[in-house]
Chain A
């Protein structure tokens, strides 16, 4: 019984609350994310998406409640780091390293040697579009879109079971957007990786994700299993607001 639960639920959130200056930024009574689900998180600016991500990654202390990853509170142990890969913003990159150095470092954390990483990076040659490797630049000298590519690739070489990306489609060119969508879909379908992706692009999320969470003022107000009407439903919601 215990084991079944472990297999089924990747993330379990209970009574999670965070407020700044008396305003509730995140307020989620209950949310569970099953293993292998791919979840799209949408909502306008200030809806609490990034704050939610940060609490799930133990970067912000919740005012109340907890985030359980594999049934263990992320704030009180570090096991989740073994199987969780995430990229929220450039703050996750060590910007004075070259991309190669950074990949080797991240790979080393997961006990992969340089040769292994180099072979794995060959799979990304399309995704990188020869703009990342051997360019003789530090990460800080790359454009924002290329930094995103570095961040996403660094996530994937960690072979995660849980992948969290905050607005990965922003700043990258259309070709890479399409490649990234396919990449995420494949990872999710073939390797059963649980994906959690936030985006402002409704087309992208509805295409990639099986389940959409719509946030407004810190609350999840809609929890939709994606179907052919989802895009329309979301568009209606956002156009009413504006």
Chain B
């Protein structure tokens, strides 16, 4: 029976609309997934060198141990955010002659096929083989694999259970992330309470007493049973899919009311973002991008290029991430917009308003980077101007070429619905133009002039926005039938 279920599952995957119909898309997807896995493998392969370099006066196995708990806490956070619950998949089976246990097993087993469950093993295996086997032998190696497997499964079923039980919204996520950051600070900055030391201690025991690993396995089994029992007593779809349970109320966004009709439209779109899963997860990833600078800025020989790059991404992440699917977000009611009394000009103005609002927020969020020097903040501000001036126009120009419908209720991770050629072509000018502007100045040794020039270009675009607006409207008038027709294709 389970085999039949799996067979259906495979069919569901290949025949789903998200998978993408064209062969090119599938090949591209396969390449991307392989590329991501290769990245993980490369990191995994050089893990011993990385660990030794970052913590030179520590045994690399001990360093590895000290990060295990952190890894799984972070893993849990990602799972809360991104892992899909395959609840509706059982709908066609519930009324058939199948035992509840079979159905729950199906739910549990099919849910296992997720990249979340492969990554931990993939990430640790090369390191364990390279370092652990030569020094501690196969028994300890086996114990480690078992422990990591146990923890992975524990995380997996725990997140399944808690996500069904509690409606985890963005606030919970932020609280979780905040607590995690607090622990990291306490650990490495203030040295008050150390999770890494705890982690090192627990997993250090594995080296001498391998059988401890069974504890993690038992833990996994317990969590699995807990999840199983919960599902068994609650196998009602309307109870399991929490989405429509809470009371929905009408809200007003007062600040936007000042901008007249385009303010109303922007308020509607803000509601679109907050009330639908896919745009919401776009916002969540945008917030995570606020840490992007930490990767590059923490070095003494910081040049302007990474700041320009990170500055553009961090202040413009909303424009880039949300803007690439512009109009597609509204594909479900695009006909309604076209026949309503909304003029195209107001429609476009609302987009600019929304971009300005979000980019200003993200700019404010990046102000703590002033820690790395005032120049960082200055360049961020210049990139904000650039984003508002140039990238908004660029994104809306490509929005006019985008005819793909998207379903707002699906998550955004590995979701290819709505992705087409325009996204790929868009990313090129988006990424390159600021550097084209900056490079000649930097090459002639006038980096300040280069940055000023980026700012001035951005400012010129903002001042001449009316002109670009007219061009965009003209283009939209030509394309609107094609766009509307594309959006009608479910």
Contacts and interface: CB of A to CB of B under 8 A. Distances in A.
A136 B339 contact: no
Nearest to A89: B335
Interface stretch (B14-22, B242-250, B425-433, B434-442): B242-250
Given A92-B339, A109-B342, A110-B341, A98 B261 contact: no
A60 B485 contact: yes
A158 to B, nearest CB: 8
B249, B339, B484 pick with most chain A CB within 10 angstroms: B339
Contact of B336 (A93, A108, A138): A93
A135 B59 CA distance: 62
Contacts of A92: 333, 335-336, 339
A66 interface: no
Contacts, number: 77
B333, B336, B408, B481 pick with most chain A CB within 10 angstroms: B336
Given A86-B339, A96-B271, A137 B248 contact: yes
A11 to B, nearest CB: 15
B248, B342, B488 pick with most chain A CB within 10 angstroms: B248
26 contacts: A57-B335, A57-B338, A59-B484, A60-B481, A60-B485, A81-B339, A81-B340, A81-B341, A82-B341, A88-B335, A89-B335, A90-B332, A91-B336, A92-B333, A94-B336, A97-B268, A106-B340, A108-B261, A108-B264, A109-B261, A109-B342, A136-B247, A136-B249, A137-B244, A138-B248, A141-B248
B275 interface: yes
B94 to A, nearest CB: 21
B101 interface: no
A58 B249 contact: no
A105 B264 contact: yes
Interface string B118-130: 0000000000000
A145 B408 CA distance: 22
B244 A95 contact: no
Nearest to B338: A59
A94 B481 contact: no
Contacts of A94: 268, 272, 333, 336
Contact of B408 (A59, A84, A96): A96
Interface string B24-50: 000000000000000000000000000
Given A109-B261, A110-B341, A95 B250 contact: no
B276 interface: yes
Contacts of B205: none
Interface residues of B, number: 29
A191 interface: no
A94 B261 CA distance: 16
Contact of B339 (A59, A90, A100, A138): A59
Report the contact-size class of chain A (Cβ under 8 Å from the partner): 20 to 34
B334 interface: yes
B58 interface: no
A89, A94, A137, A138 pick with most chain B CB within 10 angstroms: A94
A59 B261 contact: no
A57 B341 CA distance: 12
A97 B271 contact: yes
Contacts of B247: 136
B339 A61 contact: no
Nearest to A85: B339
B484 A98 contact: no
A96 B244 contact: no
A92 to B, nearest CB: 4
B244 A141 contact: yes
B105 interface: no
Given A92-B336, A94-B268, A94-B272, 20 more contacts: A54-B335, A59-B481, A61-B481, A81-B340, A82-B341, A86-B339, A89-B335, A91-B335, A91-B488, A92-B335, A95-B333, A96-B275, A96-B408, A98-B248, A98-B250, A100-B250, A101-B271, A104-B250, A136-B247, A136-B249
A78 interface: yes
Contacts of A86: 339
A48 to B, nearest CB: 16
**A-B residue pairs, 3 tightest by C-beta:** A92-B336, A136-B247, A109-B341
